[in-house]
Structure 1
Amino acid sequence: MKRALVFLLLIILMAPLVLADGDGEENEYEAGYTSLAVAGVAMIAVGVVYYSLTKRKLVVVHKKSSEWGFEIRPEHPYMTIFGPVYPITIHHVLTITGTALVFIHFFSCANYGGLTGGTGLAMGIVLVLLNLNGFIGRYIHGKVLLAAKKHDRKMAKRFVGILGHWKKVHIALAVLFAILLAIHLATSD
Structure 2
Amino acid sequence: MSRKKTFFALLLLVLLVSPLALADDYEEEDEYQARYIPLAVLGVAMIAIGVVYYSLTKRKLIITHETSSEWGFKLKMENPYMTVIGPVSPMTVHHFFTITGTVLALIHFSSCNNYTGTAGATGLGMAIVLILLNSTGFIGRHLNRKIISEANGGDMETTKKYVEIYEKWKKVHIMLTVIFVVLLIAHINAVG
Q: TM-score, normalised by structure 1?
A: 0.97
Aligned length: 189
Residue of 32, 49, 55 corresponding to 1:29: 32
Partner of residue 66, structure 1: 69
What percent identity do the matched residue pairs reach? 55
Distance in structure 2 (CA, Å) of the matches to 1:150 and 1:33: 48
Q: TM-score, normalised by structure 2?
A: 0.95
Residue of 123, 126, 132 corresponding to 1:123: 126
**Alpha-carbon displacement from aligned partner over 1:43-92 (angstroms, at most 9, x marks no partner):** 00000000000000011011001111111111111111111111000000
User: Deviation above 4 Å: which 4+ runs of structure 1?
Assistant: none
Distance in structure 1 (CA, Å) of the matches to 2:12 and 2:103: 11
| Alignment pair present for 1:107 and 2:105 | no
Distance in structure 2 (CA, Å) of the matches to 1:88 and 1:26: 43
Question: Which structure 2 residues correspond to residues 40-119 of structure 1 after superposition, within 5 A?
Answer: 40-119=43-122
| Structure 1 range deviating more: 67-76 or 150-159 | 67-76
**Aligned-CA RMSD value:** 1.0
What secondary structure is seen at the aligned counterpart in 2 of 1:186?
Answer: helix
Residue of 7, 11, 25 corresponding to 1:8: 11
Question: Which structure 2 residues correspond to residues 167-186 of structure 1 after superposition, within 5 A?
Answer: 167-186=170-189
| Structure 2 stretches lacking a partner, 5+ long | none
**Alpha-carbon displacement from aligned partner over 1:17-63 (angstroms, at most 9, x marks no partner):** 10122234211111000000000000000000000000000110110
**Alpha-carbon displacement from aligned partner over 1:129-176 (angstroms, at most 9, x marks no partner):** 000000000111111011111100100000000000000000000010
| Structure 1 stretches lacking a partner, 5+ long | none
What secondary structure is seen at the aligned counterpart in 2 of 1:159?
Answer: helix
